C-alpha cells in the first residue's frame, strides 16, 4: 500500500483509508460486530493504516467497534474521530443539535479516548462548524488538548474557506474532511486551492457517491427503511435515473482498463493531488479488496482529460443532502 502525508504535517497514512461509519450508523441493516472487527483487521493486513469514526456514529458504538478492532495495532495505525454534535435519543435531533463549546469538546475527548482504547487521538475533527462558537475558541480548545498529549492533530469537516483560515491561525489544521467525488466537485472551486496554499491535507468522504458510483445502484434499487439515502434528494429514483450517465462514463473507462467503475472513481480522486486520502466505507470484504485495488490503477493524462471533459457536460441531478443537513456545510 502506498503512503501519503496529509499536508505539511507529519501524519503519514495509507493512500486510502477506511470509513467505518456504515458499520453501525446511517446504512442499515448493520452487520455483525465480530464480522466488522474481522473486516477492519483484514484492512490492516492489506496495508490500510487510516481509520475514520466519530462520537455520533451510533452514537458511541462505532468508536467502541473501531477501538476493539484496532487494539492489537496500537502505534501502527492512525484513528480519526470527531466531536461537535450533541448525541440524543432520536436520530433527528442527533443531526440538528451542534455543540462545539470548549468544555464540551474536552468532555467528548475523554469519552472517545476510553472507547477507542488509546491514550492519544491521532486526528480530531470538528464534525460540523458550530455557528454559536467562535472557531478560534474551538481551535484553542484542541490546541490545549494537543499540549496535554490527548490529541496529535486537528481537523475540520465541511468547513468553508474563512473558517479554515481562522482556525489554522490558532492551531495548524492537519486535514479537512469533506465530501468530494466525481459527482460532488464543489471543493475544486475555493477549498482545494486554499488547502494547497496552507499545507492542509484533504480527506474526501463519500468518494464513491454513497455507493452510486460503484455502478451497483440504479433507479430500481430499494434501500432499507432506515437507510440514510432514503432522505437524500440525489437518491430519489428520477435523480438516480438521470445520474446514470456519470456511471456510464466510469463503466466505459473501467471496461477499457479491465477494472471496476469504483476503482476508476477512486483512482481519479487519488490523481487530483498527492495530499488527498479518500476514505471509502464498506462492510463487505470483496468491496474492501476492490477499493484497495484502486491505489494501483494508473490513469494517464489522456484518461483524466477524458473523464474531466465528459463529466463537465453532465449535470448531476438532486441535492446531496436534505435541507437540514445542507445548512450545516460550507460554513
DSSP code per residue over 205-228: ESTTGGGGGGT---TT----TT-G
What does the pLDDT look like over 136-184, one tens digit per residue? 999 999 999 999 999 999 999 999 999 999 999 999 999 999 999 999 9
What does the pLDDT look like over 65-111, one tens digit per residue? 999 999 999 999 999 999 999 866 555 445 568 999 999 999 999 99
Per DSSP, 155 falls in state: E
Q: Which helix (H) or strand (E) holds 80?
A: strand 78-83
* Known catalytic residue at 57: yes
Q: 14, 2 in Cβ contact below 8 A?
A: yes
Q: Which helix (H) or strand (E) holds 122?
A: strand 121-126
> Locate cell 475527548: which residue?
109
Q: 222, 298 in Cβ contact below 8 A?
A: no
Task: Write down all domains in the chain, each with its CATH number in brackets.
Answer: 3-326 (3.20.20.100)
Catalytic residue among 57, 125, 180, 321: 57
Q: Is the sign of the CA dihedral 290, 232, 132, 105 positive or negative?
A: negative
Q: 50, 325 in Cβ contact below 8 A?
A: no
- Report pTM: 0.94
pLDDT of residue 96: 65
**What are the residues facing 178 on neighbouring strands?**
204
What does the pLDDT look like over 267-314, one tens digit per residue? 999 999 999 999 999 999 999 999 999 999 999 999 999 999 999 998
pLDDT of residue 89: 58
pLDDT of residue 93: 45
What average pLDDT does the chain have? 93
Average pLDDT (223-252) is 90
pLDDT of residue 28: 74
Amino acid at each position: 500500500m502506498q503512503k501519503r502525508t496529509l499536508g505539511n504535517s507529519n501524519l503519514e497514512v495509507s493512500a486510502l483509508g477506511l470509513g467505518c461509519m456504515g458499520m453501525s450508523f446511517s446504512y442499515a441493516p448493520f452487520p455483525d460486530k465480530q464480522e466488522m472487527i474481522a473486516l477492519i483487521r483484514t484492512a490492516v493486513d492489506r496495508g490500510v493504516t487510516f481509520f475514520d469514526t466519530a462520537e455520533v456514529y451510533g452514537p458511541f458504538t462505532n468508536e467502541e467497534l473501531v477501538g476493539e478492532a484496532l487494539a492489537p495495532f496500537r502505534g501502527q495505525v492512525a484513528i480519526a474521530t470527531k466531536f461537535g454534535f450533541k448525541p440524543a435519543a432520536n436520530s433527528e435531533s442527533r443531526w440538528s443539535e451542534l455543540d462545539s463549546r470548549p468544555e464540551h469538546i474536552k468532555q467528548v475527548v475523554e469519552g472517545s479516548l476510553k472507547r477507542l482504547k488509546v491514550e492519544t487521538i491521532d486526528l480530531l475533527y470538528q464534525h460540523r462548524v458550530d455557528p454559536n462558537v467562535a472557531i478560534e475558541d474551538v481551535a484553542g480548545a484542541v490546541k490545549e488538548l494537543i499540549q496535554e498529549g490527548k490529541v496529535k492533530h486537528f481537523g475540520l469537516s465541511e468547513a468553508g474557506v474563512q473558517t479554515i483560515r481562522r482556525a489554522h491561525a490558532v492551531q495548524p489544521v492537519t486535514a479537512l474532511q469533506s465530501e468530494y467525488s466525481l459527482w460532488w466537485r464543489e471543493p475544486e472551486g475555493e477549498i482545494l486551492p486554499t488547502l494547497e496554499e496552507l499545507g492542509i491535507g484533504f480527506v474526501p468522504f463519500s468518494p464513491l457517491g454513497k455507493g452510486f458510483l460503484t455502478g451497483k445502484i440504479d433507479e430500481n434499487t430499494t434501500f432499507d427503511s432506515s437507510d440514510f439515502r432514503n432522505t437524500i434528494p440525489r437518491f430519489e429514483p428520477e435523480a438516480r435515473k438521470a445520474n446514470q450517465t456519470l456511471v456510464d462514463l466510469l463503466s466505459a473507462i473501467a471496461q477499457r482498463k479491465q477494472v471496476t467503475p469504483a476503482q476508476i472513481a477512486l483512482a481519479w480522486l487519488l490523481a487530483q493531488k498527492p495530499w488527498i486520502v479518500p476514505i471509502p466505507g464498506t462492510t463487505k470484504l470483496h468491496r474492501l479488496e476492490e477499493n484497495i485495488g484502486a491505489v494501483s490503477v494508473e490513469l494517464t493524462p489522456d484518461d483524466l482529460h477524458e473523464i474531466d471533459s465528459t463529466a463537465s457536460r453532465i449535470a448531476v441531478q438532486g441535492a446531496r443532502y436534505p435541507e437540514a443537513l445542507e445548512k450545516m456545510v460550507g460554513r
